[in-house]
């Protein structure tokens, strides 16, 4: 699994231009969302967390789809599966790499949100924890689904969001809510229960998707 992860990180480093493009896409979405609200400082602050997570979610489909592009170009994934490594290690290597990339993207989008929406928070540590838990929830099912959709001959771009978005409604809800509480204040100490929900989602899907990956890539 370490070897699989090393390969993923190396691939991501070689194609870092794409990661930057995805970041620009996310930042542009944040800008567009702010236009939807208009110049109303308190309304912008109110919606900042939700828009941050929407931007992250939309960008994530690009990252996830891209992560299987290199695998399918010359069927390198099949080449890996035919080595005596377990498919599960390949899945977790990929899912962790996607997770790290999405978490970095999320952290990179925070300053943009702060500037555009006037949504600063002193509790940076908690914010990073929410981003880590939330992007983990996107990455686990997202990696599995993009393994599927990258193998289809038609409708690749459409299928991934169609399958993924309904599934990660709880992640979006919990992460946006928790982030919002950080920005707007949390008088009733509710952040922890949202974090628990995220952690539960992560635990379920990181184990379930690892079990099912083998069936998705076999022919």
Partner 1 sequence: MTPNHRFPRAPYALLALGVILLLLGSYLGLFVAPPEHFMGDVQRIMYVHVPTAWNALLAMTFALVCAIAFLFRGDFRWDARMEAAIEVGVLLAFLLCCQGAIWAKPTWGVWWDWDPRLTTTAVLLFAFIGILALRRFVDDPVRRATWSAVATIIAYADVPIVYYSVTWWNSLHQLQSSPATVSKSFHLPLRMNAFAILFLMTGFIMLRARLASLRLEHELAPPPHELDAVGELA
Partner 2 sequence: MESAAIEVRGLSRRYGRRWALANVTLRAERGEVVMIAGRNGSGKSTLLRVLATAIRPDAGSAAVLGYDVVRERESVRRATALLSHYSYLYEALSARENLSLIGGAIDEALARVGLAERANDAVSTFSAGMRKRLSFARVLLQRPDVALLDEPYGALDPEGFALVDEVVAELRTRGATVVIATHQIERVAAYSDRVFTLDGGRLRA
Enumerate binding residues for partner 1 (CB under 8 A). Answer: 141, 144-145, 148, 151-155, 158-159, 162-163, 165-167, 169-170, 173-174, 177, 188, 190, 193-194, 197, 200-201, 204-205, 208-209, 212, 215-216, 218-219
The upper half-sphere exposure of residue 145, i.e. CA atoms within 13 Å in the direction of its Cβ, equals 25
Q: Which is nearer to partner 2, 75 or 196 (CB)?
A: 75
DSSP secondary structure letter of residue 74: T
- Is 54:138 a contact under the CB 8 Å cutoff? no
- Is 88:214 a contact under the CB 8 Å cutoff? yes
Binds 205: which of partner 1, partner 2, none (CB < 5-8 Å by kind): partner 1
Give the largest CA-CA distance in the chain.
Answer: 58
20 binds partner 2 (CB under 8 A): no
Token couple for 140 = 């686990």
Instruction: Name the nearest CA neighbour of 25 among 100, 95, 108, 103.
Output: 108
Q: Whole-number minimum distance, CB 71 to partner 2, in Å?
A: 8
How many residues bind partner 2 (CB under 8 A)? The answer is 21
- Under the rule (CB under 8 A), what is the footprint of partner 2? 3, 7, 10-11, 14-15, 70, 73-76, 78-84, 86, 218-219
């Amino acid at each position: 699994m370490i070897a699989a992860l090393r390969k993923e990180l190396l691939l991501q480093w070689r194609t870092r231009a794409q990661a930057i493009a995805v970041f620009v896409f996310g930042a542009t979405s944040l800008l567009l969302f702010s236009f939807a609200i208009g110049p109303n400082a308190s309304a912008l602050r109110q919606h900042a967390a939700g828009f941050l997570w929407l931007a992250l979610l939309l960008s994530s489909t690009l990252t996830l789809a891209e992560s299987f592009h290199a695998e399918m170009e010359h069927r390198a994934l099949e080449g890996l599966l035919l080595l005596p490594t377990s498919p599960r290690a390949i899945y977790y290597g990929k899912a962790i790499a996607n997770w790290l990339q999405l978490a970095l993207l999320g952290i990179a989008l925070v300053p943009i949100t702060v500037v555009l929406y006037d949504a600063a928070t002193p509790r940076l540590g908690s914010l990073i924890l929410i981003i880590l838990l939330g992007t983990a929830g996107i990455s686990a099912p997202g990696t599995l689904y993009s393994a599927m959709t990258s193998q289809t001959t038609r409708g690749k771009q459409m299928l991934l969001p169609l399958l993924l978005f309904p599934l990660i409604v709880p992640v979006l809800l919990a992460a946006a809510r928790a982030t919002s509480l950080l920005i707007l204040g949390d008088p009733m100490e509710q952040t922890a229960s949202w974090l628990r929900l995220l952690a539960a989602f992560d635990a379920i899907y990181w184990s379930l998707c690892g079990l099912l990956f083998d069936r998705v890539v076999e022919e």
